[in-house]
A and B are shown apart, each in its own frame.
Chain A
């Protein structure tokens, strides 16, 4: 049945349903793009809901944005762009058929991607201390300073200092608007779904590294690396839109 694979060369596999490896490669690429179209609309549902609610409750959502640590978001954006860069190099390494280079760049991608996740977790922790997590501890009253803990307080102090130097004054509310909870809900769902995609991506990269270690890829056949590259870049693009939407719309 499907087991009779035509072996073109030791490293290039053309499955029986394809005529040649070009057809196979094009099919794989188109399939991946189709899947990414699906992903666009998956995240799109969230972006649309977020936009609608932002339209409905502009002030509450702005207050939510003010509670975000924009500098952590910015660092994370740079980190993720860097990981995308390494991923592009990994795909390039695959195109020239160098398994060691694939491994090198994939490892770099994983390291940088993990750094992103670490920063994200730090942000979640700060949000938790600031009582911003819906269903867990969201409160409209801001926590007292002694409830924050030293780590979180440091960030708060920086925020205060920074916000006092921007003009016009941003007008952070003393009591959080009730609908800020909706903002936080979307913040956690959107970044959470994004982070889930990254974790899945890192898991797949480990498999790819293992395959490269077995010298499975060649200049003729490296569809998995190439398709995975598309996925990783897509995850990056999602963040490129999440970052301004969640962190930057600060002005009254």
Chain B
């Protein structure tokens, strides 16, 4: 960003428009949540995907306009992006373990198990 005497002052109507867009997205995410998209489109995680996608749209709007990234230097873009890339690394690589596990975890019994009340026959 070239140094100017004053900050980039964004007109108020942009903020109002962004707020309205965010609220519309909120309504949209509510509406989609109550339709069983998975059953309708025979998919596994469509409901979740749509919810996450809408959340990402909302986050983008906030980051670009409320947080002024649209008007900021490339370094700021890089740092804003890097955090999410790293989060993606953590999420993806951890999931590589869990979704490929041959065995699901089962439940553990408490380590402090008393012997059953009626002992099952003589040992």
Residues of A whose CB lies within 8 Å of any CB of B are 20, 22, 26, 29-30, 33-34, 36-38, 40-41, 44-45, 47-48, 51-52, 55-56, 70, 74, 77-78, 81-82, 84-85, 87-89, 91-92, 95-96, 166-168, 178, 219-220, 226, 229-230, 233-234, 236-237, 240-241, 243-245, 248-252
Contact = CB atoms under 8 A, between A and B. Distances in A.
A37 B83 contact: yes
9 contacts: A29-B72, A36-B80, A37-B83, A40-B83, A52-B95, A55-B95, A81-B26, A89-B12, A251-B36
Given A87-B66, A168-B36, A237-B62, 9 more contacts: A33-B79, A37-B79, A55-B98, A56-B104, A70-B30, A81-B26, A220-B5, A244-B54, A251-B33
B6 A85 contact: no
- What 10 pairs across the A-B complex have the smallest Cβ distances? A37-B83, A40-B83, A244-B51, A22-B3, A248-B33, A44-B87, A95-B7, A33-B79, A85-B19, A88-B66
Contacts of B98: 52, 55-56
Interface in B70-108: 72-73, 75-76, 79-80, 82-84, 86-87, 90-91, 94-95, 98-99, 104-105, 107
Chain B interface residue count: which class? 35 or more
B90 to A, nearest CB: 5
A74 B76 contact: no
Nearest to A36: B83
B9 A244 contact: no
Contacts, number: 145
Chain B interface mostly helix, strand, loop or mixed?
helix
A116 to B, nearest CB: 14
Contacts of A85: 15-16, 18-19, 66
Chain A CB within 10 Å, residue with most, of B22, B72, B105: B22
Given A41-B90, A249-B51, A29 B99 contact: no
Contacts of A250: 33-34
Chief secondary structure at chain A's binding surface: helix
A45 B91 CA distance: 9
B106 to A, nearest CB: 10
Contacts of A84: 62, 66
Contacts of A229: 66-67
Nearest to A238: B59
B100 to A, nearest CB: 12
Contact of B15 (A36, A88, A236): A88
A96 B80 CA distance: 25
Contacts of A168: 36, 39
Nearest to B50: A244
Contacts of B51: 244-245, 248-249
A84 B19 CA distance: 9
B38 A37 contact: no
Contacts of A40: 83-84, 86-87
Contacts of B63: 233, 237
Interface in B1-58: 1, 3, 5-10, 12, 15-16, 18-19, 22-23, 26, 29-30, 33-34, 36-39, 47-48, 51-52, 54-55, 58
Contacts of B8: 95
Nearest to B22: A81
